[in-house]
Amino acid sequence: MSDGYHHGDLRRALLDEAASLITDEGPQAASLRELARRVGVSHAAPTHHFGDRRGLLTALAAEGLGLLTEALRSATPEGFDQAAVAYVQFARSHPGHYTVMHRPELLDSSDPALHAARATAAQALAGGVATIPQNKRAHLSLDQGAQTAWALVHGLASLTAEGAIPPDTIDTLTRQAAHQLFG
């Protein structure tokens, strides 16, 4: 719990607190009233930034997709194996964001920022797949390769979050799986 909001960017403080609360207690705990209490503002203050709970979670998901895009773009020059590891590491280091990013029942599907963030993240992952020589993915189009890559990394990230894969082995396993898939 924070010491209360005193000055600065209330929107940022609410998003940070939401990510922390979701990490600790799950998305069901993230109410605007609880977040307002945690940052020390009136219970109505968050509505000025997000409208409602769905708006807050949508903003958190869009932010998470932006952070994921940055991680993927930073790793892509190293090749798909490293982009795959970056995806899984993102999920581990931003669990509050990751938890809501792929939960359509929690989000405003008509939100333009969310649509743009999803498209940009998908392009970044496809960029990682594009580093794979064509002869190693000859059986898949770039779009099919990107979807297959997403299934791989999302599955590994989710299994790690659920405790099914030990965190100390996930980077090696991710590299091996990426190499097996496209190697």
Q: Mean pLDDT throughout 127-135?
A: 88
In tens, the pLDDT along 26-72 reads 999 999 999 999 999 999 999 999 999 999 999 999 999 999 999 99
Q: Domain 54-182: what homologous superfamily?
A: Tetracycline Repressor, domain 2 (1.10.357.10)
Three-state secondary structure string covering 10-37: HHHHHHHHHHHHHHHHCHHHCCHHHHHH
Architecture of the domain made up of 10-50: Orthogonal Bundle (1.10)
69 token code pair: 């895009």
Task: Say yes or no to pLDDT of 74 above 80.
Answer: yes
Q: Where are the domains of the chain?
A: 10-50, 54-182
What's the confidence (pLDDT) of residue 7? 54
Q: 3-state DSSP call for residue 111?
A: coil
Q: Which residues contact 167 (CB under 8 A, 6 or more apart)?
A: 92, 160
What's the confidence (pLDDT) of residue 133? 86
Inter-residue long-range contacts of 14-18, CB under 8 Å, 24+ positions, other chains counted: 14/39, 14/46, 14/49, 14/50, 14/56, 15/56, 15/59, 15/60, 15/63, 18/56, 18/57, 18/60, 18/96
